Amino acid sequence: MKLKIHTQIFIAIISGLAAGLLLGENAKHIKIVGDIFIRLLRMIIIPLIMASMVAGVVSIGNIRNLGRIGIRTFVYYTATTLLAVGVGLILVNVLKPGAGVELGLQTGVDSQAHAAPSVVSIVTEIVPKNLFKSMAEDKVLSIIFFSLLLGVALSSVGEKARPLVALFEALNAVMLRITDWIMRLAPFGVFALMACTIGQMGLAVIKPLAVYMATVVLGLAIHAFITLPILLSIFGRYSPAKFIKDMFSAVATAFSTASSAATLPITMDCLEKKAGVSNKVASFVLPLGATVNMDGTALYEAVAAMFIAQAYGIDLTLWQQLIIMLTATLASIGAAAIPGAGLVTMVIVLKAVGLPLEGIGMVLAVDRLLDMCRTSVNVWGDACGAAVVARLEGEELAGNQSCQPKL
């Protein structure tokens, strides 16, 4: 009997975890499998985003429709990120994970941590100075900007541009086919990544930070299993249970890679092939979401900042907590969709309310585990957003039909 791909990936996570615990440091010998899996995914990100976005924009037709999708996406992304941070702040105030923490500060705060990008540079860099340089450096927002421009220009030129449109449509279909193939390797990649992460870290680091971790995980769980499903059923009219099944491969890949960007090809594949969201919507909402919509990261940054404040015995006023809410949202937008990025942009939050940057050293030890969890929520949030926007655009989705797994 052939197991469905999401079942295979689930088994890979559990057995990878067990292998990591058993093998410990030795798990590093299978790291190559995980590395190759991530490289394969990263290899197709740029051509996939470009091809599917250009094809998507052309199929949207006129710029007014594009604007409407854009506004809906913006409203959904902002609202859900703020909701996530709100949940995190409530939990951290109630559970007070930092109260009574007597953690000696660890040295070795990530030196990158001080190099958080400024809001101005994030905005400026959306416009690529050199398209090929942006492509080479995986600057997703710049690629999105150029692809949007190209798509709109192709539509406005019309008949004469037809061959180029056909080229991008063909490229899109081919990239999705390659994604399908890479997805078949996902169970192996996921297994290796899990084993290496757990083997390297061990579970001993968790103990002193257990309440802090529990607060973050509980917040993420509330957002993922309550807030987003409610929005999905009300605005997307999509069965959350079915959607979780549809998107499981993507969420599990996000969990094991801790990168929304690397997961993007799989997220697109699941959303289009299993949930039935059109390329028109998916190609616009998902790449943007992978880059700027990070509900999990925003929640995490707010909780971590409050935890640091509590551990240092610093009382933050309601006003200061509102500043945390705002800056955590901005910092999550600025975070790159790669492992550990949220930890880097947390500097923005800490600085905004004058918390000691050394506090980051406290949460460093368990960052990877929490990164895996928050990245899963980031990807889940993007997927829910795409389904909601698609339904608001009048699309009929697979939500009520029987699921036809691809593999």
Considering beta carbons, is residue 287 or 339 the nearer one to ligand ASP? 339
337 binds ligand ASP (CB under 6 A): yes
CB of 86 within 8 A of CB of 295?
A: no
How many angstroms separate the CA atoms of 188 and 185, rounded? Answer: 6
Considering beta carbons, is residue 232 or 341 the nearer one to ligand ASP? 341
Residue 62 three-state SS: coil
Give least dist CB 366 to ligand ASP, A. 13
For residue 287, give both structure tokens.
């790449």
How many angstroms separate the CA atoms of 269 and 258, rounded? Answer: 18
CB-based contacts of 50, cutoff 8 Å, min separation 6: 143, 146, 147, 168, 171
Give least dist CB 278 to ligand ASP, A. 24
Give least dist CB 214 to ligand ASP, A. 18
Q: From the list 341, 355, 362, 369, which residue makes contact with ligand ASP (rule: CB under 6 A)?
A: 341
Q: From the list 346, 361, 378, 383, which residue makes contact with ligand ASP (rule: CB under 6 A)?
A: 378
Considering beta carbons, is residue 66 or 247 the nearer one to ligand ASP? 247
Which listed range, 218-226, 264-272, 372-380, 396-404, lies at the site for ligand ASP (CB under 6 A)? 372-380
CB-based contacts of 6, cutoff 8 Å, min separation 6: 245, 248, 249, 252, 405
84 binds ligand ASP (CB under 6 A): no
Residues in region 234-263 near ligand ASP by CB under 6 A: 258-260
Q: Under rule CB under 6 A, how many of the chain's residues touch ligand ASP?
A: 16
Q: From the list 98, 187, 339, 381, which residue makes contact with ligand ASP (rule: CB under 6 A)?
A: 339
Residues in region 260-299 near ligand ASP by CB under 6 A: 260, 294, 297
Alpha carbon distance, N-terminus to C-terminus of the chain: 13
CB of 281 within 8 A of CB of 393?
A: yes
327 binds ligand ASP (CB under 6 A): no
CB-facing half-sphere around the CA of 278: CA atoms within 13 A: 17
CB of 281 within 8 A of CB of 391?
A: no
**Site for ligand ASP, rule CB under 6 A:** 258-260, 294, 297, 335, 337-342, 371, 374-375, 378
